[in-house]
A and B are shown apart, each in its own frame.
Chain A
Amino acid sequence: MKNDGIKEPIQKKWIWLLLLLIVLAIVPWYFPESAVEPFVFGFPLWAFLSTVFTLVLSAYLSWLCLKQWNIVEDEEEAERAEEAQR
């Protein structure tokens, strides 16, 4: 499907690849058993790193919503502006 000028997340592979990588960093499958210490802000090391990646996920998804999604917004906002003028 080709529609110029619109942004839809499903059409961009890198979005989903990056999402998968972040998820794989959140799930703590790759830590050695020793990754408990040091404690960082009271979190065991593995839990701290997992939480950091969880926050990265929030930031990433939030950014995607705002910047990589634009299908009918311009059209709708133009209509609303027109209605407001009337």
Chain B
Amino acid sequence: MAALYNLTAHELSAMLSRQEISARELTESVIARIEAVEPKVRAYLTPTHDLARQQAAEVDERRARGDSLSPLAGIPLALKDILCTRGIRTTCASKILHNFVPPYDATVVSRLREAGAVCMGKVNLDEFAMGSSTENSAFGPSGNPWDVERVPGGSSGGSSAAVAAGEAIIAIGTDTGGSIRQPASFCGIVGLKPTYGRVSRYGLVAYASSLDQAGPMTRTVLDAAMVMNVISGKDPRDSTSVDLPVPDFTQACRPDVHGVRIGVPKEFFAQGVDTAVAQCVREAIETLCELGATAEECSLPSIEYCLAAYYIIAPAEASSNLARYDGVKYGHRSREWAGHIGLMEKTRAEGFGAEVKQRIMIGTYALSAGYYDAFYKRAQQVRTLIRRDFDRAFSQYDVLLTPTAPTTAFRIGEKADDPLAMKLADVCTLPANMAGIPGLSLPCGFIEGLPVGLQIYGKPYDEETLLRVAYTYEQATDWHTRRPAL
């Protein structure tokens, strides 16, 4: 039998409920795996193995008593270190929060805790989720389990690396411009950014509030659906969470794409997309057509302005959100300063990394007097145009299929000195956040041993169709069964 740490959440959930294995055994298997591969992968910033053992024992006790348990009870979980965890350090991979211990749980975290998921620890990210490789982490980059010299993607790179390496069975990531989907693509796993408002943002440390969303990162589509069942739904503590019924997402996981209309937006196959990546994605579309879907090329003309508009809106919101780090209420405080402005300037200069500083300054500039109309307002108008493009496309198609990222995982350091090149790599994923629509990435091939991601875009709140199309493709292929040799 395969090692427990290599199985999927739905397989393990069935084994746990039949009492073939205990949650403690499963947790020990994952802890042993972490101890074996963590020196190479470096996914975890704060491991919580004692807590994991305690939570697993509680699940076993509850099962022995005959309590009715969630399908996630006993499943080992990694949390991106931007979700507040009561009593567990939450750093956002920033020096400015190196000592921050939240007094409360994010809603996503409390829902997973209540479901009995076993918290293995907090995992790496680009500082404040700003980046595409984990190289912006103040605590150093994680390694991609498929080639540890390469990046795992970002910003949720610790989450994708942990799941791909068997250091967790499921993980939570967050996605402001592709930060769940691109690392899922780079590490050969499934990543789902839900529709904006589907999942509560309470306790998710804010980067760009109108774009941020948390979601599952898992080995299979069904696992992602299981996590969605637990984390979705209205939260009185987040006024932007939407009061819609939460379906049983696992019911959407059935192999059936008959009559599904696929749009293939040509802008996502343009310059800059690796031809071998585009080929993998086109073959995936052919596979879905053989299974009963229809596909045709379409166009989203405003997409060419998306990158520029995003890099105004996201930094503008960041400059406002990150104003709270002032050295007074929590986090780092400089030792030497003069006056209250000096305290803030010194504290923030010492606490933030270069990329975060750059985005704060761009946002401050874009919002400053005299430039607001030229930058921020115009970017928001472009956002309207992008949303209209998607509305038009979804009047004709059920889903849109694109590459998740233009390339496979790049080498650590390869783009580190060229922040612009790094940002250009987000071009396929940014539109989902700008329009608020759901997007899912799942593996659709390998190029020279590195995974390639297929991205599926869907209508707002129609995660079910995304999951059904993804599940159908997954069941017809075997990419998701491969595991990296570490």
Tell me if chain B binds chain A.
no
